[in-house]
Amino acid sequence: MPKLVVRPPVLSFAERDRRWSAVRALMRDHRLDCLVVAGFRAREMYESYISDDYNEGCSILPLEGDPVVLTWANLRVLRAQWSAERGHALWVNDYRVATSGAQAAQVVREKLDGGRRVGLVGLRSAAPTEPFGAIPANWWEQFIQSLPGIAFEDVSEQFSHLMLVKSAEELAQVRYAAKAAEAGCRAIAEVAGEGVGEEVIYAEAVREMFRFGIGLRYPNIVMNSGPATLSWGPPRWTTRGEQPRRLERGDLMQAELMPMCGNQEIQVQMTVAIDPLDETNRKCEKVARESYLAGLKTLRPGITFEQLVAAMAEPLKVAGCWCYTPLVHSVGPHFLLGRPQINMERVNLGVRFVGPIQGPKRSAVIKPGMVFAFEPNACIDRHRVNIGGTVIVTESGCEEVNRIPTRVTHKPARALGRGVPSARPAQTKAGKTARKNTTRSRRSTGRAR
């Protein structure tokens, strides 16, 4: 196994001061005396923007004075203190345990210092897996009942726009997470093959990414496999007793990897084809790649997000394909969402909807420092091919930070561990072990399971 230098980029106090200054400018624009930034169990972990830490609680930032980190248990406080003792200085020195919304209100009242306007991040935020906001209902009910006479304003939208434009230090974390994603994709390309189980592929990808000393954003990896399926989400066998599927000839194994360094997330869409693919999937592959290239050609400062989405949608529109998931979205946070409704007149998902799909429609002018997940997916009936990686907006255009997942990796059937045209990975010990186990299983049963 090649030696890996584990050195995730850290954020400085200068970065902390930059963020606090920008957030307080936002507070002044909205005449807020105090801001409550939710973390709780939110996927986007908004509280970390203030504290450079995630404690499943919230950060409280007054317009003047020192912020406070609130968490649900003393063990989170002691965890932070242990980091400080080992030389990792904390952005916020005041950590407290608050086990109810009423207790959190006491701290806010203290920090208001006579003020009467409180801003909130997370009350009306909407992101994948959490369209109903990030603040628990019980906590919120206790909180507002304990603060009579206080005016509240949700600024989740404005706060998210603030987070979209990354500093040089944040971009260093983005690039580091991208390296972890490339390693995960390389592991997938190495181990995926006919007869290999999804659980083996999942395990090798996670192992490689964790070796970088970083985390994974929920739901860690989205994965499916088959010649034609619209199943998409965490593998079913991770949440129920279900046998993981094994790859077969003609399959597409598609996985979305979500590593993050600090709270800077990147996403990649890694697809492996067990050749030969049928004609429909080959067409979808071609269109998805054309959409990716159209995005690279278009993305630059000054255009609108809508223009980027339209450019990436054009190859699908011409080819008669539709998109099942967004073609592109922002990361850090997952906020701007580009899924155009094209060529869907005859699409029947066979799903019952209680009412029309609801959600905010957001717009933005592209700026240097923004980060986007390119996820071009082209569908025909239930055939779907999805590729893509993370792209950074530069002063004059854009920078790809992923390569392997931007094309489909083709593997010949019954040729385990070979045939990676986009990037030939180094052979890993784990990959060898997985192949030995698969070969041993074949010999004992006389066939691939």
Question: What is the rounded distance in angstroms from the CA atom of residue 101 to the CA atom of residue 377?
Answer: 42
pLDDT at 442 over 60: no
Strand, helix or coil for residue 51: helix
Helix axes 101-112, 137-145, angle to 10 degrees: 50
> pLDDT per residue over 202-215, tens digit each?
999 999 999 999 99
Q: What's the pLDDT score for residue 426?
A: 38
> pLDDT per residue over 272-306, tens digit each?
999 999 999 999 999 999 999 999 999 999 999 99
Question: What is the rounded distance in angstroms from the CA atom of residue 248 to the CA atom of residue 198?
Answer: 11
Residue 159 near residue 23, CB atoms below 8 Å: yes
Which distant-in-sequence residues (6+ apart) come within 8 Å of 72 by Cβ? 55, 56, 57, 97, 98, 99
Segment holding 179, helix H or strand E: helix 168-191
Q: What's the pLDDT score for residue 127?
A: 81
Mean pLDDT of the chain: 92
Q: What's the pLDDT score for residue 93?
A: 97
> pLDDT per residue over 169-204, tens digit each?
999 999 999 999 999 999 999 999 999 999 999 999
pLDDT at 354 over 80: yes
Pick from 265, 329, 374: which is nearest to 44 by CA?
265
Question: What is the rounded distance in angstroms from the CA atom of residue 47 to the CA atom of residue 160?
Answer: 12
Domains of the chain listed by start with CATH number: 13-164 (3.40.350.10), 168-445 (3.90.230.10)
Strand, helix or coil for residue 54: coil
- What's the rounded mean pLDDT across residues 97-109? 98
The structure tokens 């203030």 sit at 50
Which distant-in-sequence residues (6+ apart) come within 8 Å of 135 by Cβ? 38, 40, 120, 122, 123
Q: What's the pLDDT score for residue 445?
A: 36
pLDDT at 447 over 50: no
- Report percent pLDDT > 90 for the chain: 87
> pLDDT per residue over 137-176, tens digit each?
999 999 999 999 999 999 999 999 999 999 999 999 999 9
295 phi and psi, to 5 degrees? Answer: -65, -45
Q: What's the pLDDT score for residue 1?
A: 63
| pLDDT interval class at 357 (50, 70, 90) | confident
| Longest distance between any two alpha carbons in the chain, whole Å | 78
| Tokens representing residue 13 in the block | 């106090």
| Tokens representing residue 48 in the block | 């970390």
Residue 214 near residue 180, CB atoms below 8 Å: yes
Query: For the stretch 134-154, what's the b/e string if a residue is b when 16 or more beta carbons lie within 10 angstroms of its beta carbon?
Result: bbeeebbebbeebbeebeeeb
